[in-house]
Amino acid sequence: MKAITITKVVTRNFIMDIVSKFQNFFGINLTSYEKMVSRGMQQIKDELQEDNTNLNWYRYEITQLTNGAVSITLYGDKI
């Protein structure tokens, strides 16, 4: 088995930052944040499919870099 690490940094746009501030104030789900995380995870999945990589186990780690950016890291072992 070989260890694998893939990191993607995803940001949202300025307009969605303003919208999410209002959503956060009123306690509404932060859909722009959810979409940003989903987009980053999909980019990682696409990269794994391009390389035909099968994983024995994996784990995602999501770190908020700023109010509008996250770093998503996948750790795992290739089969």
Is the overall model pTM greater than 0.85, yes or no?
no
**Cα 48 to chain center, whole Å?**
14
Dmax over CA atoms of the chain, in Å, equals 48
Sorted by where each begins, the domain ranges of the chain are 2-78
CA dist 76 and 61 (Å) reads 11
Look up residue 37 and give its two tokens: 């995380």
Look up residue 78 and give its two tokens: 């290739």
CA dist 79 and 76 (Å) reads 10
The 10s digit of each residue's pLDDT in 3-54 is 999 999 998 776 766 776 777 777 777 677 788 899 999 999 999 999 888 8
